[in-house]
Structure 1
Amino acid sequence: MSGAQVLPLRPMTVGELLDAAASLLRAHWKPLLAGSFALAAVEQVFMTWLRLSTESALTPRYRGDVMGDPAVVWLWMIVGLTTEIIVITLLAVPASRAAHATVLNRPAPTFTDLFLRRVPWGNVLGVVAILIPLAAFTAAMCGLPWFVLYAFVGLIVPVMIIDGASFGAAVGRGLSLAGRAGARAAFVRVLGYCSWMLVRLAITCGAWAAADEFASYSAILEGNLLLVLGFAYLAINTMAYAMLACLDAVTLVETRIRTEGLDIVLTRAAARGDTPNLAPPMMLVRPPYGGPPS
């Protein structure tokens, strides 16, 4: 499958962006899903431990209580939203490397290419370190400010990988790109997340309903609902996190095509027989991390 078939080098509709993200994941599914599964497994081990250790606090203390301590659910939400934004940010690294190779129509990169070779993990972890307190704080504010944060930080790591930006430049440029064209990239990111959130909500409601209906007949469900949910979340999150990371990478490329004429740069380089440099004009002095120096 050629790069143009995976990621069309033209402005796309929102539906086409989602299709392109799915195509990118399909083209590199083995390393991307492997990395997503590993991170999602660590997340669910921690989250399941947290849920099990605080489960007793949810037991109603007297008739009329919906739950014993609503603050526990709030804690679950804060920790869960924080871990989710961390995992997706980390997965943006291999997804952006895959998008970089796809745009340049290079052979499919290996696991080492996507995760290890010339990856500025120090800078990426610096972004994560900034996001952890911001995500926890915004999630604690009833969750709504968290969606604003999530909407605008998604392009920072793709800018760092595809554009070859330094830490400070990546933060500023990532936020700027997310706000371009009426914050279109930010809207796309929230739309992708909400689509996955609805799937997880359906799984959660279905699990609770099944527990109420069948717990007395099922040795698996009775007393182990949170463990069952943990495995269900692991399965859906493995796919969702990889897909959302691919959506971030694809959205960066499409935003640059829409607002900076990246497709023209690629077409002119192909006509000259040159290897295109994906760095924006103000960063041409720095070769992108995803490819060889120009």
Structure 2
Amino acid sequence: MNDSPGWATPGSPSDGQGSEADRPAAPPAGDGKWSAAQPPPGQWSSPGTTPPPPAPAPAPPAPPSRPAGWGSYDSSSQPGGQQPGGPYGYPGAPGGWGGPPPAAKPGVIPLRPLGLGEILDGAVSTLRGHWRSVLSISLVVAALCQIGLLFVQRATVDSALLSTGRRPTDAELADQLGNTAFLYGAQYFLEALGLFLVTALLAPVVSSAVLGRTSTVSGTLKAVRPLAPRMIGLIAFLVLGALAAAFVPALPGILTGNVTAAALGVPVGLVLLAWFYVTFVLAPPALMLERGSVTDALKRSAKLVRGSWWRIFGISLLTWVLRTITAGIIVMPFAGIALFLAPGGFSGLLDGTAATSWTFLIITALGGIIGSAVTVPMQTGVTTLLYVDQRIRREALDLELARAAGQGGAGPVTGG
């Protein structure tokens, strides 16, 4: 995206604080009963003479200018922390110069720091307004991942099922735990692979949606093609790092047959996985929109997340929960059809034989493809909008976006 608004050169952080020279002069001391025209102390004239005219009061400082469409204001630059429009905080209040104009919204989000509802709404609006590009890309990725998962399930589901005929030994429990970990690890590997890949591929689409521009599949692929090697390297690092964080703590217990050690390693792995995912979740959009190296994208993600880890974690977790529920609702009818057509029916589901049949696996995989194609873009859209939001908060990216969208600026900013 060579016409992306300022992605390639991140802006310098701005704290929005005014200097001492910009602050208005303090009012003269007194009890409020003396006229403002009284001469300053030490300059009283002798009786019978005309006092000199008072010095004109200094003009109040002009309010800081912002581009049209800016919808927020830093109250720290006003005396007493007051908002524009006087102490009452609304346009036309006594003593004020009027309230700030509403934020510009050329696309799916307003160009200002975003709230949770605006991020979720922006992700859904991107899916709805750019559905051809979004669904074309996500459907292909979801199909490839589900086909891979289909063969993994068929090869490992037998060994991952627990036998109900007798009590298994500790060694058998450890083996079954290892097989189950491999099955779910492969499932997570493919899901994370698809999630990171769709996030990277759809980042240009979300960028266009933010600016109110249209997008096409060919245009998106053209923008992504030069970054394909770096994208593959970044996704490989993220997926392998996430798998290592999740399963390495439980690996010693699995290898030694110690069920207790393996079970204790599971919560440790979940904590490490959450830290790793949130710290580097913004790396795919950073790579595709800033067009730097893999290392630069990882550093950018860690820098943007720093200080906002819990906020990004909460929004990402909530989005994942919503996506999982929605995907489950979509897959449920397919699971019912698969259960009806699979050998053994409901009894086969209870004893595990249905889960090993190709009929059951293929029909549920079709449901998984449709569910992932519809819901994964929502998660990836939230991730890209979180990247945009963090840059707005840290680097005033909204000014670049407003100029690129033609709202109070000279035109688009070209990326490097």
TM-score range, shorter chain: 0.7 to 0.9
> 1:104 deviation in Å?
3.4
> 1:183 deviation in Å?
4.1
Q: Which residue does the alignment assign to 2:109?
A: 7
Q: 2:124 aligned with 1:38, yes or no?
A: no
**Cα distance change of structure 1 residues 190 and 63 upon mapping to structure 2, 3 Å threshold:** same
> Using the alignment, how far apart are the partners of 2:111 and 2:409 within structure 1?
18
Q: Out of 162, 177, 189, which is 1:70 matched to?
A: 177
- Give the TM-score normalised by the residue count of structure 1: 0.80
Q: Which residue does the alignment assign to 1:148?
A: 275
State how 1:156-175 maps to structure 2 within 5 Å: 156-175=283-302
Q: Which residue does the alignment assign to 1:230?
A: 365
> Using the alignment, how far apart are the partners of 1:81 and 1:23 within structure 2?
28
> 1:19 deviation in Å?
1.1
> Using the alignment, how far apart are the partners of 1:76 and 1:260 within structure 2?
43
Deviation sequence 1:48-85 (CA, Å, 0-9, x none): 111112222215162456x9923322112111112222
Q: Which residue does the alignment assign to 2:198?
A: 91
1:93/1:115 contact within 8 Å kept: no
**Cα distance change of structure 1 residues 267 and 49 upon mapping to structure 2, 3 Å threshold:** closer
Q: 2:395 aligned with 1:260, yes or no?
A: yes
> Using the alignment, how far apart are the partners of 1:227 and 1:105 within structure 2?
39
1:8/1:20 contact within 8 Å kept: no
Deviation sequence 1:206-232 (CA, Å, 0-9, x none): 949x959x97568x9854433332222
Q: Which has the larger radius of gyration?
A: 2
1:179/1:186 contact within 8 Å kept: no
> Using the alignment, how far apart are the partners of 1:46 and 1:118 within structure 2?
24
> Using the alignment, how far apart are the partners of 2:164 and 2:152 within structure 1?
21
> 1:136 deviation in Å?
1.9
> 1:204 deviation in Å?
7.8
**Cα distance change of structure 1 residues 81 and 55 upon mapping to structure 2, 3 Å threshold:** closer
Q: Out of 28, 34, 52, which is 2:154 matched to?
A: 52
> Using the alignment, how far apart are the partners of 2:374 and 2:332 within structure 1?
20
- Bigger helix fraction: 1
Deviation sequence 1:95-130 (CA, Å, 0-9, x none): 210122233333x12112112335411111110121
Q: Which residue does the alignment assign to 2:413?
A: 276
Q: Which residue does the alignment assign to 1:292?
A: none
**Cα distance change of structure 1 residues 198 and 29 upon mapping to structure 2, 3 Å threshold:** same
Q: Which residue does the alignment assign to 1:281?
A: none
> Using the alignment, how far apart are the partners of 1:79 and 1:266 within structure 2?
40
Q: 2:221 aligned with 1:115, yes or no?
A: yes
2:278/2:309 contact within 8 Å kept: no
> 1:138 deviation in Å?
2.2
Q: Percent identity?
A: 22
> Using the alignment, how far apart are the partners of 1:162 and 1:103 within structure 2?
13
2:150/2:365 contact within 8 Å kept: yes
> Using the alignment, how far apart are the partners of 2:127 and 2:317 within structure 1?
19
Amino acid at match of 2:112: R
In structure 2, stretches of 5+ residues that fail to align are 1-103, 250-265
The answer to which of 127-136 and 222-231 deviates more is: 222-231
State how 1:122-201 maps to structure 2 within 5 Å: 122-140=229-247, 141=249, 142=266, 144=270, 145-200=272-327
2:113/2:392 contact within 8 Å kept: yes
Amino acid at match of 2:235: V
- Give the TM-score normalised by the residue count of structure 2: 0.58
Q: RMSD over aligned Cα, in angstroms?
A: 3.3
Q: Which residue does the alignment assign to 2:212?
A: 105
> 1:47 deviation in Å?
0.9
1:6/1:20 contact within 8 Å kept: yes
Amino acid at match of 1:133: L
